[in-house]
Chains A and B, each alone.
Chain A
């Protein structure tokens, strides 16, 4: 079956196992570049792109027909210090999530010990200055809280995030915990989705506010909290 999937590459599964990975050679049908020139993108077989005009449409006539903004544009997201200064007073940090871990794919692979070792805890990336002001040290457990819920994360101090932002890991569950309800492998302990409001997508149905929410962060006091 794998040989069949690889047919286009001219390689067998055995050969690929030996090579581990490979870039398709130029001109190989598995990497057909310049498809728009050869008429491979349109149903009518003509050169160009699959749009009304056949061109790359920065001004989308289809979107216009659907009653949506035809040009790329900026809209202030619904929960930011700009759109909701009232909430920002109580929840002063911008919360972003959804960034990939190098060890996992979304909620997958937590049960593989070799991978878990690479990224063992749900982290909250926070700038050292921000953490310092909040009395949070590297590796300490913190609550991330907004008006919907609060969840546990482990602070990772890094200069890679802006001081006014924090970045929470997503997709966490704990294979070592009870799988039965209500625990469900601890799926509700470090679940950043609990802080994300429903129904605030953009007009065209895309863009849930997973990159630009508001929150506050504070240290977990005591062992059992």
Chain B
């Protein structure tokens, strides 16, 4: 059987992720996942830059368990993580729409153009 082409995804602007992990909890509670299982996880990236400065970023990462909450999106609602993100750094939508959004944001942003990440979920 041919696999269906993915249609929807998440656009995550992790520059504005504060590392509050609310998306993780929203996901775990939506699906009543046991501790240890999450559809999205926030990782902390930390490294020394060559100019002696420190780079710190929080990185929300949809895991294999993520199904993009079809039971919610069918009703016109947002996936649990997107709805509960207090930094509003995640967006759900059609992949083409998100891709054009990504382009727009890149054209606008001056400093760090790579802070947006388009995640495609099946």
A binds B: yes
Q: Contact residues of A with B, CB < 8 Å?
A: 20-21, 102-103, 113-118, 158-160
Q: 19 new A-B pairs (CB below 8 Å) besides A21-B86, A114-B35, A118-B21?
A: A102-B19, A102-B20, A102-B21, A103-B21, A113-B35, A114-B25, A114-B28, A114-B29, A115-B25, A116-B35, A117-B35, A118-B25, A158-B46, A159-B46, A159-B47, A159-B48, A159-B54, A160-B46, A160-B56
Q: Any chain A CB within 8 A of the CB of B76? A: no
Q: Contact residues of B with A, CB < 8 Å?
A: 19-21, 24-25, 28-29, 35-36, 46-48, 54, 56, 83-84, 86
Cα A103 to Cα B46 with chains together (Å): 20
Cα A88 to Cα B83 with chains together (Å): 50
Complex partner residue of A117 from B29, B36, B46, CB under 8 angstroms: B36
Closest-by-CB residue of B relative to A113 is B35
Residues from chain A with a CB closer than 8 A to the CB of B84 are 20
Cα A81 to Cα B115 with chains together (Å): 41
Complex partner residue of B83 from A20, A116, A117, A118, CB under 8 angstroms: A20
Residues from chain A with a CB closer than 8 A to the CB of B46 are 158-160
Residues from chain A with a CB closer than 8 A to the CB of B86 are 21
Q: 3 closest A-B pairs (Cβ-Cβ)?
A: A117-B35, A113-B35, A114-B28
Residues from chain A with a CB closer than 8 A to the CB of B28 are 114
Distance of B76 from chain A, by nearest CB (Å): 12
A–B complex contacts, Cβ < 8 Å, 8 sampled: A102-B20, A103-B21, A113-B35, A114-B28, A118-B24, A159-B46, A159-B48, A160-B56
